[in-house]
């Protein structure tokens, strides 16, 4: 079960600061959307806005990689001027890998950020990039299939 252990465990995405990015030499962040950056199917808030500004200042590219629809991703991305891909089919690495190639992101300086072990972290592991697990935002709004996945995740975490 150690296989699923992320490189970093964070409470919130805002713990990824300018200093943190420099220390860990991160140039590209592939991030999940729902429960990672915003409540499921909701807009990003001021925290996202501030964080995106920090990333832009640090010249770090943020790329949303979501299993939700492209419409959902576009609605989220537009106000912040960031790019994002829906229907990524995580934990399969194929689509995200293609986006990595298109964006010329280097595996050594890339990070996968997400709230789910069995989609986000597993996808990052299969891409051989570093991974950061965040505590889910707005857990009480999550659909039933995700609630069930959380139980499996808890089982895995106990066995790290």
- State which residue, 32 or 153, has the beta carbon closest to Mg ion: 32
Q: Shortest distance, CB of residue 114 to Mg ion, whole angstroms?
A: 6
Residues at the interface with Mg ion (CB under 5 A): 32, 34-36, 115
Q: Shortest distance, CB of residue 38 to Mg ion, whole angstroms?
A: 10
- State which residue, 115 or 153, has the beta carbon closest to Mg ion: 115
Cα distance between residue 158 and residue 160, in whole Å: 6
Angle in degrees, CA 27, 84, 41, rounded to 5: 125
Q: Shortest distance, CB of residue 119 to Mg ion, whole angstroms?
A: 7
- State which residue, 123 or 129, has the beta carbon closest to Mg ion: 123
- State which residue, 80 or 112, has the beta carbon closest to Mg ion: 112
Q: Shortest distance, CB of residue 34 to Mg ion, whole angstroms?
A: 4
Q: Where are the beta strands (DSSP E) in 13-60?
A: 28-31
91 cis-preceded (ω within 30 degrees of 0):
yes
* Contact criterion met (CB below 8 Å) for 128 and 108: no
């Amino acid at each position: 079960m150690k296989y699923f252990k992320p490189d970093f465990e964070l409470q919130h995405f805002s713990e990824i600061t300018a200093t943190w990015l420099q220390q860990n030499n991160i140039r590209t962040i592939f991030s999940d959307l729902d429960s990672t950056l915003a409540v499921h199917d909701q807009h990003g808030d001021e925290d996202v806005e501030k964080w995106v500004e920090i990333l832009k200042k640090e010249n770090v590219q943020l790329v949303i990689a979501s299993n939700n629809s492209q419409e959902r991703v576009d609605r989220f991305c537009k106000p912040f001027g960031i790019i994002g891909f829906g229907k990524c089919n995580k934990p399969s690495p194929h689509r995200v890998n293609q986006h990595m190639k298109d964006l010329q992101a280097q595996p050594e300086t890339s990070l996968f950020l997400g709230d789910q072990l069995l989609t986000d972290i597993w996808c990052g592991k299969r891409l051989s990039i570093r991974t950061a697990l965040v505590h889910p935002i707005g857990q009480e709004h999550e659909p039933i299939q995700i609630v069930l996945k959380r139980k499996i995740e808890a089982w895995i975490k106990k066995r790290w």
